[in-house]
Structure 1
Amino acid sequence: MTSISTPSEAERDLWNRARARLKVAVGEDVFTSWFARLDLEEIVDDLCHLSAPTRFLCSWVQSNYADRILEALKQDAPDLARLQVTLRVNGQARPRIASQNEAPSREAPVAPSAPAMPRLVRDNTAQKGDALSGSAIDQRMTFDSFVAGGPNEMAFGVARQIAQATVNNTVSFNPVYIHATVGLGKSHLLNAIAHETAAADASKNIVYLTADHFMYHFITAVQRQSALAFKEWLRKVDLLLIDDMQFLQGKSATEFGHTLGTLLTGAKQVVVAGDAPPRDLEMLDERVRSRLSGGLVVPITQFDVELRRAIVQRRADQSSTRFGMHFPTAVVDYIARVVVSHGRDLDGAVNRLVAANQLTGELITVPLAEKTLGDLIRSQEARRVRIEDILRIVSRHFKVPRNELLSARRSRDVVRPRQIAMFLAKALTSRSLPEIGRRFGGRDHTTVLHSVRKVEQMMKDDGELCQEIELLKRMIEE
């Protein structure tokens, strides 16, 4: 038996380098969801012991990412062959890991019994406070608090129609897929649909789940050998709302496909939100993407200045009512003009000015806004190209999955798009060659340089390739 000890500085450095490789390989969002909260506990013989703060994260990482984590670790520690993820409680990991003399295992450790699956389906006996259980419903996210304008007007109208149709036992559009980048109101609309439907008809079975909760419930059901009961349970719902679809992966994505088919066949209403159109959700089966695309796909585009101003004015009016302060029209106009990212930053801008006023007593003016909101202000110049944008466009154009572009595969159908993507990263971004290499699966800067020169030479000899790369540049810079 080997007791758990504090990892050495060398072991911590090894883990930090592996984390950096993982972040490059999977992207910021996936890394934050599945890897950011993992801690290194110890390395014993050929086994790496990590800990996670939740049972779900332990199970999910062990089942879906063990090989990828080991691959990242092996670049510096080739002798590592096993990975174990255990539950971390109050800063302590458990149980202990096995030494080389004990039977090797790639399975997740046996954790204490998981709590009973929460009842997400509403029924007539539910207490008022439990009416909408499952993933947390934000009580502030209603249709009344949603600010509609040109970029989100269609999504807002469709959401209200869904709530009304569900109450009337009719289905107008099914499934409905709402997509937008972060902070543009997808989650707000899903919460509002749930609120409106529940308020109009207390008998409706409503299930709101974020993708990670859906995965948790499915994995728990599989572990308890109750997957069939889980499927039957979901099929009883009148309204299924799934948020953050881009995080649904592995077996849970497949299970969602089966559940979606059953719900549609039974004329039940399904509303899904994600950060990309269905065709770009590469982790989903083609049939599921086709099902989602065959329903009503509703985009929410970047907010224009009119909508930004309406949002700021609404938040300013609420602050004026609550705190008795005055937001001059010039300040509202200034925030709407310079804070161009998304709705959450607009809310944050108003909150910062309220805090500055309360803490310093200084009147809310444009100079105070300039001083307080410096890091929220975005340049009005052309949008900065990100390597993530390049990977997405090149992946779609050449029909090569993003993870293949970052992999070690050497087949021609992958190598050529990868080299073109590296060339575009060098041409369109200010990133250095080592930085680009890290973003392309942890490659050396000499590999990037070789790819850039290779594409430059091919462009000299191939006029069609030149036109194709110019097309890609326009698509990336749009």
Structure 2
Amino acid sequence: MLEQIETGDFVDVASGPSVAKLGLGKGAAAAAEKESWDRVRRRLRAELGEDVFSSWFARVEICAVVEGVAHLTVPTRFLKSWLEAHYAERLRAHCTAELDAPHGVSLSVRQVARDGAEPRPESPAQRPRITDARAPAAVNVEAAPAAAMPPASEHDVMDACGTVLDRRMSFQSFVVGKSNALAFAAAERIAAAPAGSAPYNPLYIHAGVGLGKTHLIQAIAQDARQHGKRVAYFTADRFMYGFVAALKSQTALAFKEKLRGIDLLIVDDVQFIQGRSIQQEFGHTINALIDAGKQIVVAADRLPGDLETMEERIRSRLAGGLAVEIGELDEGLRVKILGSRLEALQAAHPTFQVNPDVTTYVARAVATNGRDLDGAANRILAHATLTGATVTMETAEAAIRDLVRTREPRRVKIEEIQKLVATRYNVSRADILSERRTAAVVKPRQIAMYLAKALTPRSLPEIGRRFGGRDHTTVLHAVRKIEKAIGEDRLLHDEVDLLKRMLQE
């Protein structure tokens, strides 16, 4: 008798693993597998860089290693298909090296029933082959769903391509301050422009996490629809899934024609678009729409030139329009944002009141981003409604303690490192990026490379490219040399430590 193990290969029950053997997570064997899987993750992170790892491998979990096969699970079919198509051999190689898995890897989708029951397997039709060391990796990309996903709540609406938009993310609810005023003005101008008009093409909005870029581009989508425009709004993963699914279902031409027939294309988190064929189609779509006078709006977490995994032609095209940064939230803007969140909560809970002094204190303490301010407002509401106590400075401090404690440091950019180091050592940034090998240039260049590795999530190859196209071995040599030097030279140690603190303030 044959039994399917989730979406993995078929195994003979008489000689293969039983369901009990796959229900892992107990005992020393499970602990050893977890430790080995952590080593696989560290290898992938070091090899691919933090961005790629976070996008594609952060949610991969190990289920079991049974009879030489590593059984891994992922949360979505799209992620399973993408890993099979692009990283199957790399996964197999690392699992073979760190886990007792000479026969390869089996990927499956973990599904939890609504009542919280154990994960249930998909149907056999959705099952890929095991990635075996003796055969090429199999590719099994799921077809597109027959119907659009229903709205997640009463706050959500659909755009023309079936992507969920949140009604609450409107221009009216967006709080404007010094750091986002230019981006807001450009967004309003684009949304109100008549179809066929492209005031800034493309509009490229970049910002860190939780600073409002998604809110702003969703507001553009909804306002433009009210002006009668045909709008397509995609997250990066939704765009990739739509294109790959269209290829597999042989409807790629219809997918392309649908995109080219719109008035406004909006893509969020464009830094996550991966794969040569998908990037090429994305580039062709951008070119076709811009040439036809249609508007493009793109959001990302970095400048176009910093999209290291994106093709040069696309980076150049994205940089050819208006690039606007949404900066860090200053204290005044944080007070306004938190005040608007608390007002919305007070409308739903009339007995919930917060003193303006408390609002100012919380906005000063939670200095990270808008999402943490949302979290602070919700925590204060919970403390007030669950305990029935008046919101005081003390209760607010207790409510937001975890947000203050886990505050993340400022995101450091490689360009900032290069500029600061150049100024500190009285050389130019061009000198640091040049081929000059004089001692006056080599030392600051190596310090800048060391700081880039220590303070940014960039991989060694990415850092090398940002330092004049150098090889990753050059960066590794510089990092090791500075690490050794600061361990031996106290003055250099203090100097590098000062540079770190200046960059992180």
Change (3 A) 1:25 1:162: same
CA deviations 1:283-337 (Å, max 9, x no partner) are 1111111111110000000011111111112122222332122221111111121
Equivalent residue number for residue 369 of structure 1: 396
- SS in structure 1 opposite 2:328? coil
2:115 corresponding residue in structure 1: none
Asked if structure 1 preserves the Cα contact closer than 8 Å seen for 2:269 and 2:299, the reply is: yes
**Amino acid paired to 1:340:** A
Question: Which of 287, 307, 328 is the aligned partner of 1:302?
Answer: 328
Q: Which residue of 2 aligns with 1:124?
A: none
CA distance in 1, matches of 2:139, 2:34: 22
Deviations 1:82-126 (A, max 9, x none): 334233444244557878999734113586x55237599xxxxxx
- Residue 154 (structure 1) aligns with: 182
| Residues 221-232 of structure 1 mapped to structure 2, 5 A cutoff | 221-232=246-257
Residues 24/371 of structure 1: CA separation in 2 closer, same or farther (3 Å cut): farther
CA gap 1:412/1:455 in 2 versus in 1, 3 angstroms:
farther
Is contact 2:366-2:404 (8 Å) kept? yes
Distance 2:83 2:107 in 1: 8
Using the TM superposition, give the Cα deviation of residue 188 of structure 1 relative to its aligned residue in structure 2, in angstroms.
0.3
Residues 305, 12 of structure 1: alpha-carbon distance in 2 compared, 3 angstrom cutoff: closer
Q: 2:300 aligns with which of 263, 274, 286?
A: 274
Name 1:139's counterpart in structure 2. Answer: 167
> Quick one: distance in 1 between partners of 2:235 and 2:470?
38
Describe the SS at the equivalent of 2:391.
coil
Unaligned runs of 5+ in 2: 1-9, 113-118, 151-155, 419-428, 435-448, 450-456, 464-468
Quote the residue 1:428 is aligned against.
Answer: none
Indicate the residue corresponding to 2:453 in structure 1: none
Alignment of 1:368-407 (within 5 A): 368-377=395-404, 384=409, 402-405=458-461
Residue in structure 2 matched with residue 116 of structure 1 by the alignment: 146
Equivalence for 1:359: 386
Residues in 2 aligned to 1:93 and 1:20: alpha-carbon distance in whole angstroms: 29
Amino acid at match of 1:363: T
Return 5+ residue gaps in structure 1 as ranges: 121-127, 423-447
Distance change in 2, residues 1:272/1:197 (3 Å): same
Q: Distance in 2 between matches of 1:70 and 1:143?
A: 48
Partner SS for 2:180: helix
**Closer/same/farther in 2, CA of residues 280 and 103 from structure 1, 3 Å limit:** closer
1:42-441 aligned at under 5 Å gives the runs: 42-43=64-65, 47-77=69-99, 80=102, 82-90=104-112, 91-93=119-121, 104-109=135-140, 114-116=144-146, 118=148, 130-165=158-193, 167-201=194-228, 204-251=229-276, 252-324=278-350, 325-377=352-404, 384=409, 402-405=458-461, 413-420=471-478, 422=479
The aligned amino acid for 1:336 is A
Deviates more, 1:52-61 or 1:187-196: 52-61
Secondary structure at the counterpart of residue 151 of structure 1: coil
Stretch deviating more after TM superposition (359-368 or 297-306): 359-368
Deviation (angstroms), 1:14: 2.3
The SS at the match of 1:108 is: coil
Identity of aligned residues (%): 39
CA offsets 1:235-285 (integer angstroms, 9 cap, x no match): 111111100111111132232112111111111111000001111111111
Aligned equivalent of 2:424: none
Shift of 1:49: 3.3
Aligned equivalent of 1:425: none
- Secondary structure in structure 2 of the residue aligned to 1:184: coil
Q: Does the residue aligned with 1:255 lie in a helix, a strand or coil?
A: helix
Distance 2:369 2:487 in 1: 38
Match of 2:348, as an amino acid? R
**For the aligned residues, what is the CA RMSD?**
4.1
Residue 362 of structure 1: how far off its partner (Å): 1.2
Residues 84 and 107 in structure 1, CA contact (< 8 A), matched pair in contact too: no
Distance 2:490 2:472 in 1: 18
Displacement of 1:221: 1.7
Amino acid at match of 2:474: R
For 2:179, what is the secondary structure of its paired residue? helix
Change (3 A) 1:405 1:472: farther
Residue 100 to residue 153, structure 1, CA distance change in 2 (3 Å): closer
The one-letter amino acid paired with 2:90 is R
User: C-alpha separation between the residues in 1 aligned to 2:416 and 2:398?
Assistant: 36
The aligned amino acid for 2:95 is: L
In 2: Cα distance, 1:379 partner to 1:61 partner: 32
Judge conservation of contact 2:165–2:218 (CA < 8 Å) in 1.
Answer: yes
SS in 1 for 2:323: strand
Residue 147 of structure 1: how far off its partner (Å): 0.4
Shift of 1:23: 4.4
SS of residue in 2 equivalent to 1:137: strand
Asked if the contact 1:331/1:365 (under 8 Å) is kept, the reply is: yes
1:391-436 Cα shifts (integer Å, max 9, x gaps) = 9958x976999444499xxx9832232343x4xxxxxxxxxxxxxx
**Closer, same or farther in 2 for the Cα pair 1:267/1:475, shift >3 Å?**
farther
